[in-house]
Each structure stands twice: as C-alpha cells, then as structure tokens.
Amino acid sequence: MGTSEAVTVRAPAKVNLELRVGGPRPDGYHELATVFHAVSLTDDVTATPADAITVTVEGVHADRVPLDGTNLAVRAARLLAERSGIDDGVALHIRKGIPVAGGMAGGSADAAAALVACDALWHTGLSREELRVLAAELGSDVPFALLGGTAIGTGRGEQLTPALARGDYTWVVGLSDRGLSTPAVYAEIDRLRAGRVLPEPRVSERLMQALRSGDPTALGASLANDLQPAACSLLPDLLRSLAVGQEYGALGGVVSGSGPTVAFLVKDTEQSLDVAVALTASGVCSDVRRVHGPVPGARIVEHGPGR
C-alpha cells in the first residue's frame, strides 16, 4: 500500500474458434454466436498512482496505439473511477505482446487489464460480476478478456457462458501488416449476403463436441468463421495463407474475427514449427507466432512497490 504501489495485470488475446454472424440489427450491430478461445499472446498493463489518468505504450507497433482518451485502457480507468466515485489518477503502462489491429482484441485485453489493475490499486473491491458489467460497456470483446479460457459469446459477443472444454491446443498465428477495418468487413459480408434469409446464428454441436472430448483433429475440422469470405474478398492474400497452412498439415485454419490474423490449429510443437516456417517463407504473413490455449483471463501478475 502507499503511494509507491504498482499493480501489473496480464490479459490474453483471443481467437474465434467459430464465429456465426446474423443479419444487421436496427442498432447497427450484428447478432453473433461465437466461441472465444484465449491464447498465450498477452499484454501487460502496469498501473501506478498518479495525479491524472495517463497511458504509455511499448512493443511492436506501439506507435499505432492512441495515447489520448480513446485508448481503451484509459477509457476503462475513467469508467471505473466514475462509477466508484474515485478522484485518483493512474499512470498506465502497456507492454504490447498482442498485435495491434490484428483481430485478436488487443485493445479489449488492455481495457480488461486496466479494470483489474485499477480496481486493485484504488482498492475499489469490485466483484468479478461488477467488473464484467463495466467491461461490457467498454466493448463486445472486453468481458471475454476478463474471463479467459474458452467461452461461448452471444448478443454482440458480450454475453458469455464458459464452454465445457478439455485439452490444451497448439496454434500458429499468422499476422498481416495490411489492415482490415472491422466495419469494412461487416459491410462486405452484408454485401455478399444481400437478399439472403439468414438463420439465427448458433455455434455448431460438432465444435462443442470436439471441445468436450478434447479432440484436436475434430476441432480443426470444425473451425468456422462467417466473416472469412468477406475478409478474403477484401484481402485475397488470406486465401494464400490458409492454403499454406493446409498444405503443411495444419488440422484446421481460420481467419480470426474480422482478420487479418489467421489462426492454424496444429498437432504438436513439431508441426507448429513446420507450419510457422512455411508461412514465414511464403511471404504472405508479416509475422508468425506459435502460441497455446486456453489461458486465463486478466489477472494480477505483480503487486508491489512501484519503480
């Protein structure tokens, strides 16, 4: 305790194992049914007492992260302060391990981490449920970054039910430097599906069964994303990247969320190396990472004197 206290919270990136997208709703959002899976690409957010709420960022493409009030970690700290009647400031420092604008919800991870860090720093003592409510106000993917593991998301993705899932999975994640804007991908899917009657989105029994039995081969065959045709239509390189993963024996490959990240499920570490080397050599990915999942949601990794 005291003014030199600092709290560091780690929060994970997500991959959507399945993403089903309904038609556009009157409020502009799309009804979703998705299976989130937290993977071992993480951001660390350190909160230190300060007079005002500020943020600094380090890591790959840190320069692409806003440092003003639009930063999701700043928005999270402000929201918690406002709802808890706190006047204190906080200096937030983000160490980014999650690619920026990669469809892996890095900003959402920072928001979740900032909520948990400030709650500990300011001793506001919110329950997990109270934090979840604030998280849902900040963005559709923020509640999952708090929860972690593997979970079904409905509504805009913010209504979560933990999934019955077994096993630890090895992934190769192919990143792209070419940006894909989330609204543009949704507009493209609406264009591609114009005039079609869309069923209510639901996750498949096949994928849930694969998770229950912890069967990576069945899971690989069940990966699915309704946004994939739209993302590939806007960025055809994604099709090449998916083909490389398939050629090198990945159990399955899928565009994560609205892209441009592509996630490949592989059998083991050896195969992850094969797929990673092939993707790197193909030149279609700007960066390739080997990760595993599921991992926990936002959690304190260090609580002690500040620097």
Residue ranges binding ligand ATP (CB under 6 A): 64-66, 70-73, 94, 100-108, 110, 141, 182, 257-258
CB of 182 to ligand ATP, least distance (A): 4
Check if 141 is active-site: yes
Helix (H, G, I), strand (E, B) or coil at 98: coil
Dihedral sign for Cα 261, 165, 220, 224, please: negative
Q: Among residues 25 and 123, whose Cβ is nearest to ligand ATP?
A: 25
DSSP letters, 221-251, are: HH-EETTHHHHHHH-THHHHHHHHHHHTT-S
Which residues on adjacent β-strands are paired with residue 14?
A: 38
Smallest gap from Cβ 109 to ligand ATP, in A, equals 8
CA torsion 260-261-266-272 (nearest 10°) is: 120
Question: Using CA atoms, how far apart are residues 307 and 304, in angstroms rounded to an integer?
Answer: 9
Q: Are 189 and 21 in contact (CB under 8 A)?
A: yes
**For ligand ATP, which residue has the nearest CB?**
107
Q: Which is nearer to ligand ATP, 35 or 208 (CB)?
A: 35
Radius of gyration of the chain (CA): 19
99 versus 216: smaller Cβ distance to ligand ATP: 99
- Give me the least distance between CB of 120 and ligand ATP, in Å please: 19
CB 61 within 8 A of CB 99: yes
- Would you say 48 or 71 has its CB closer to ligand ATP? 71
CA distance 134 to 115: 8
Q: How far is the CB of 129 from ligand ATP (least distance, A)?
A: 23
Q: How far is the CB of 194 from ligand ATP (least distance, A)?
A: 23
From 44, 119, 141, 226, active-site residue: 141
* Residue closer to ligand ATP, measured from CB, 72 or 224: 72
Q: What angle do CA 5, 6, 9 make, to 5 degrees?
A: 150
| DSSP 8-state code for residue 296 | B
14 assigned to active site: yes
The least CB distance from residue 34 to ligand ATP, in Å, is: 12
Nearer to ligand ATP, 182 or 233 (CB): 182
The CA distance from 168 to 128, in Å, is 25
The one catalytic residue among 14, 44, 96, 119: 14
| Residue 246 to residue 257: CA distance in whole angstroms | 19
Catalytic residue annotation: 14, 141
